[in-house]
A and B are shown apart, each in its own frame.
Chain A
Amino acid sequence: MRLPTLRVDARWLQIGFLASFLLLGALARDFAIGPAQVGLCFGAALLTQAAWQWGLALPQRRQWGGYLSALVSSFGICILVRAENLWAHPLLAAVAMSSKYLLRAGSGEVRSHVFNPANLAAFAAWAWLPGAWLSPGQWGAQTLAALWFIALGLVVTRQAQRWDVSVVFLVSWAGLLAARLVWLGYAWDPGAAMWLQQVGNGAVLLFAFFMISDPMTTPQRRGARLAYAAAVAAGAFAWQYLAFRPHGLIVVLFAASLAVPLINRRWPQPRFAWTQAVHP
């Protein structure tokens, strides 16, 4: 099936979607984030991006593309990270944007930053920052339908890009959770509701569509990329349900990102560019 594709930078769609997420959370889900934290986060991300673009005298320093990424990352950080102070969000935003220039790997056409900025920020918030934390339960279970529809709409519009990663990840994750419930011997009731509750978590959907699908930090070769998505799901499952540790998706994606440069070297493919023409 061939769907019409939009010739706009896909990040505009991301920004619209993420903004709606943040608004929904702040207005309907009492997200514990203040306007000052949001403002500082965005300000720090944009300023850091500008500083790197101009400081390194990059050829594209006069273009807006980098700032779109900064906006996407800022939304991600505001949606995921909670803090009891005003400095955590801007600090994380600055670190996340800087990581795009400081933590790079690969050579030639596959050279890219290593970590998805929002993933790095979320991991750092949980693992290293005092007074900052993640709230995976913050979405509740009832936003499920809405989030799914929006996410699917986004998948459609982005069908030429990385939808396959999202789908493979979700199928793997949902399959592992279902297998666990079956193995534990849950009956259909409450097993089915339990499964829906686990899979339909807003944090899972956000991860699937906005983090692991990042074309810059996933393997460039399609086969490797899909295997990577499945491996992240398996790793996160083991972390969360076998080792009983928190925040499996964030932690395992962070660790797995380190392997992406090696995968790209073994199975090279020209790297993705946000502004390239989208070929249906």
Chain B
Amino acid sequence: MRRLIAAAFALLLSASAQAFCGFYAGKADASLFNEASQVVIARDGPRTVLTMVNDYKGALTEFALVVPTPQVIRQGQVRVVDKAVVEHLDAFSAPRLAEYHDSDPCRFDFRWGERQRLYEPAYVAEARAAPLPVPSVVRDAALGVTVEARYTLEEYDIVSLSAMQSDGLETWLAENGYRIPKGASAALKPYINQGMKFFVAKVNLQNQAQTGYTMLRPLQFAFESEKFMLPMRLGMLNAPPDKPQDLIVYVLSRQGRVESSSYRTARLPTGVNLPFFAKPVFKQVYQDMFSEQARREDYRVVFTEHFWNMGFCDPCAAEPLTLQDQRKLGAFWVGGGDPVQNFKALVTPGAEAGKMDAAQMSQRMSWDSPVMVTRLHLRYTANSFPEDLMLTQTSDQQNWQARYVIQQPYDGTLGACFATLNGKDCEALCKPKVAGWLSAKGMGYPKPGVNSDDPLVLQRDCESVCTAAKQAGLQTAGNYYQRELPERLQREKLALAQLTGWSLARIDALPDAQRYASSSPAPAVDKPWWQRLFGRP
């Protein structure tokens, strides 16, 4: 007998939105706290393409998915999608860590009688936050009243049901070997009364073996409906009322950002500088930060994690999706062809989509792609989200991302800096400069500090500038290692504590946290230490 799992049921509800909601069976009661259902909605006007991701890892014979849909989903409206495309979308939109590197504070900025050079730009690298794990949903079985359609699609056996009464549906599901959670009938009733149908899928083991995939691939439906919502309530059926569940919704839209109209949509803190030693634990940082923010909002808020034009990214956690991949996720209005006809091909067996424009297809980056992706992350309980998730599209097109910054300290020490600078031989360095200046006679070169053509005077001037540059370099490095860096780290630690709710003691116990805490000895008290080093005032 197939078993429904909480997560699966959750998806069930969520998929339904207008239509669908899926529920499938996943691991029972696996720790949902760290697992999230994922749904991709591509929508323009009432035309909607919904993709439900399932990372069900249990026995395939136990997998079942039940999704309320606005209309009967017939053959031709359903397809199986390559999961890698959704993973790519996840990667593209994931909260990200941007990493910058401090430049060497030990500078020997010595110029005498020569043109100035520009500093080289700092190297920038990014690391992507590992996406939160996707929850899986398991469901045992479903039963229906009228079988509107029955077909096999790749590795799935699919039935579309309509029901007049929820208890009838519950009975049908039970008689057909599905064990549905207690209370399912009451939860199904409002969907039946809204005229919704039910899409039920289970695994066709024979076909599944032939696909060669070890995982179940996402299912996708296309339908038209004015309702822009996800029936997430269904998925709360077998979760305790106060146990949080996660749902990540990606919306591909044409006009602008999507937000909830029934719940508050808030942005996560972004642009926060974190201590460098948080990089290896960034995934944990992000998870704990999300938990902390969700908890502070009492699990009543929909968080925006990302909103960006699909044409580009900055910094890129992953390259934008190709137009082919955007079409695979249902963005029927891109890539050429008449959008209406493209959509028709998604809902009619045998209909052909418009021809994809090869020139457009080969182009990946553009600043104004007609596809924008909104990534919403919900952590909710049955009590905190009493109604289904209603969505609305705004005309907001300002790109926004949850981005965190690591500024890597320069990997050096004050002692090494002193050794480097002390090794500079000013006399030797100045000789060619003086000779060069004398031969060019200042054509386009700045005048030295003395008004003289005497090589000895010039040499003396150059050496004093050189010594001053050494002092300045050492002073800068001293400031950096002994003041700026410890102070900055302190600020970053506080920011980390504020974001995640971690204690400072816990943060200080992280590997490497003490690296710059008590670095070089304090400078001499009476006069600046670099003056003593060089014996000059």
Chain A interface residues toward B at CB < 8 A:
29-30, 82, 84, 129-142, 183-187, 190, 193-194, 196-198, 243-246
Contacts and interface: CB of A to CB of B under 8 A. Distances in A.
B228 A140 contact: no
Given A30-B266, A190-B382, A198-B387, A131 B259 contact: no
Interface stretch (B109-117, B188-196, B447-455, B487-495): B188-196
Contact of A184 (B190, B260, B261, B392): B190
Given A184-B190, A186-B190, A246 B392 contact: yes
A140 B190 CA distance: 24
Interface stretch (B350-358, B395-403, B477-485, B499-507): B395-403
B186 interface: yes
Given A133-B396, A190-B387, 9 more contacts: A29-B264, A129-B395, A131-B395, A138-B265, A186-B189, A186-B190, A194-B386, A197-B386, A246-B261
Interface string B263-275: 1111100000000
B166 interface: yes
B300 A140 contact: yes
A272 B263 CA distance: 37
Nearest to A202: B264
> 10 tightest A-B contacts by CB?
A193-B386, A133-B394, A140-B264, A244-B226, A185-B189, A184-B190, A190-B386, A194-B387, A244-B227, A194-B386
B508 interface: no
Question: B193, B262, B266, B394: which has the most chain A beta carbons within 10 Å?
Answer: B394
A131 B396 contact: yes
Given A185-B193, A244-B228, A137 B394 contact: no
A190 B233 contact: yes
Contacts of A197: 262, 386-387
Interface string B212-232: 000000000000011110000
A4 to B, nearest CB: 37
A227 B420 CA distance: 87
Nearest to A130: B395
A194 B231 CA distance: 13
Counting chain B residues whose Cβ lies within 8 A of the other chain, the interface size class is: 35 or more
A187 B186 contact: yes
Given A82-B396, A133-B396, A244-B227, A193 B266 contact: no
Nearest to B297: A140
B394 A193 contact: no
Contacts of B394: 82, 133-135
Question: A30, A185, A245, A246: which has the most chain B beta carbons within 10 Å?
Answer: A185
Contact of A137 (B227, B264, B395, B398): B264
B383 interface: yes
B386 A139 contact: no
B256 interface: yes
A244 B45 CA distance: 12
B226 A243 contact: yes
Nearest to B228: A244
A181 to B, nearest CB: 8
Given A186-B190, A197-B387, A132 B266 contact: no
B301 interface: yes
B228 A183 contact: no
Interface string B190-206: 10111000000000000
Nearest to B225: A244
A262 B194 CA distance: 37
Contacts of A198: 262, 387
Contacts of A196: 386
Contacts of B264: 29, 137-141
A243 B190 CA distance: 17
Contacts of A141: 263-264, 300
B249 to A, nearest CB: 14
Contacts of A139: 264
B261 A137 contact: yes
A197 B385 CA distance: 9
Contacts of B262: 137, 197-198
Nearest to B264: A140
A133 B300 contact: no
Nearest to A84: B398
A196 B395 CA distance: 29
A185 B189 CA distance: 6
Contacts of A30: 266-267
Contacts of B193: 183-185
Contacts of B387: 190, 193-194, 197-198
Contacts of A29: 264
A46 B189 CA distance: 53
B298 interface: yes
B298 A136 contact: no
Contacts of A82: 394, 396
Question: B383, B386, B398: which has the most chain A beta carbons within 10 Å?
Answer: B386
Question: B225, B256, B302, B396: which has the most chain A beta carbons within 10 Å?
Answer: B396
Contacts of B302: 137
A137 B396 contact: no
Given A186-B190, A245-B226, A137 B265 contact: yes
A173 B298 CA distance: 27
Contacts of B228: 244
